[in-house]
Amino acid sequence: MRPAVVAAWLAALLALLASSCATGQSRRQAAGWAELGTAWAELGEWDKAGDAWSRAMALDPGQGVAGYNLSRALAEAGKYDESIAMSDRYLESDPDNAAVLAVKAYALHRQGRDDEAIAVYERVASLNGGDRASSFNLAVLLEATGRGDEAMARYDAMLALDPDDAAASYRKGLLLAGGGDAEAAIPLLERYLAAEPESAEGRRVLAAALERAGLYLRALEAYAAMAAKDETDAAAWFALARLRLTKADDATGGLSALDSAIEQGFKDAEAARALLRTDGLLAADLVEKRLGRVGLLDGERADGASADGASADGASADGASADGATAGASQGAPKDEGAGDSGS
Residue 17 phi/psi, 5° resolution?
-65, -40
Q: b/e string for 270-305 if b means 16 or more Cβ within 10 A? A: ebbbbbbbbeebbbbeebbebbbeeebbeebbbeee
User: Rounded to whole angstroms, how far apart are CA atoms 121 and 116?
Assistant: 9
> Quick one: pLDDT at residue 314?
30
pTM above 0.75, yes or no: no
Q: Which residues contact 7 (CB under 8 A, 6 or more apart)?
A: none
Q: Which residues pair with 179 in a beta bridge?
A: none
> Quick one: pLDDT at residue 341?
58
Tell me which of 1.25.40.10, 1.10.4160.10, 1.10.10.10, 2.60.40.10 is the CATH number of domain 1-95: 1.25.40.10
- What digits encode the pLDDT tens for the residues 178-230? 999 999 999 999 999 999 999 999 999 999 999 999 999 999 999 999 999 99
Domain-by-domain residue ranges, the chain?
Answer: 1-95, 226-315
User: Rounded to whole angstroms, how far apart are CA atoms 72 and 83?
Assistant: 7
Q: What does 28-57 look like in DSSP terms, one character per residue?
A: HHHHHHHHHHHHHHHTT-HHHHHHHHHHHH
> Quick one: pLDDT at residue 220?
97
- What digits encode the pLDDT tens for the residues 266-296? 999 999 999 999 999 999 999 999 999 999 9
Q: What does 262-283 look like in DSSP terms, one character per residue?
A: HHTT---HHHHHHHHT-TT-TT
Q: Which residues pair with 305 in a beta bridge?
A: 311
User: Rounded to whole angstroms, how far apart are CA atoms 118 and 125?
Assistant: 10
Number of neighbours of residue 70 by Cβ within 10 angstroms: 30
Name the percent of the chain lying above pLDDT 90: 56
> Quick one: pLDDT at residue 322?
28
- Taking the alpha carbons at both ends of the chain, their separation in whole angstroms is 14
Q: At what angle do helices 234-246 and 200-212 cross, to 10 degrees?
A: 20
Residue type, 46: W
- What digits encode the pLDDT tens for the residues 231-275? 999 999 999 999 999 999 999 999 999 999 999 999 999 999 999
pLDDT band at 325 (very low <50, low <70, confident <90, very high): very low
Integer angstrom CA distances of residue 215 from 67, 111, 112, 188, 340:
54, 41, 39, 16, 40
User: Rounded to whole angstroms, how far apart are CA atoms 171 and 337?
Assistant: 13
Q: Are 339 and 106 in contact (CB under 8 A)?
A: yes
Residue 299 phi/psi, 5° resolution?
85, 0
**Quick check: helix, strand or coil at residue 159?**
helix
User: Rounded to whole angstroms, how far apart are CA atoms 243 and 317?
Assistant: 10
Integer angstrom CA distances of residue 65 from 60, 100, 101:
11, 10, 14
**Quick check: helix, strand or coil at residue 182?**
helix
> Quick one: pLDDT at residue 339?
63
pLDDT of 323 above 70: no
Mean pLDDT of all residues belonging to the chain:
80
Q: Are 254 and 244 in contact (CB under 8 A)?
A: yes
- What digits encode the pLDDT tens for the residues 26-54? 767 766 766 676 676 677 776 776 677 66
Q: Which residues pair with 311 in a beta bridge?
A: 305
- What digits encode the pLDDT tens for the residues 144-155? 999 999 999 999
Q: Which residues contact 164 (CB under 8 A, 6 or more apart)?
A: 191, 195
Name the percent of the chain lying above pLDDT 70: 71
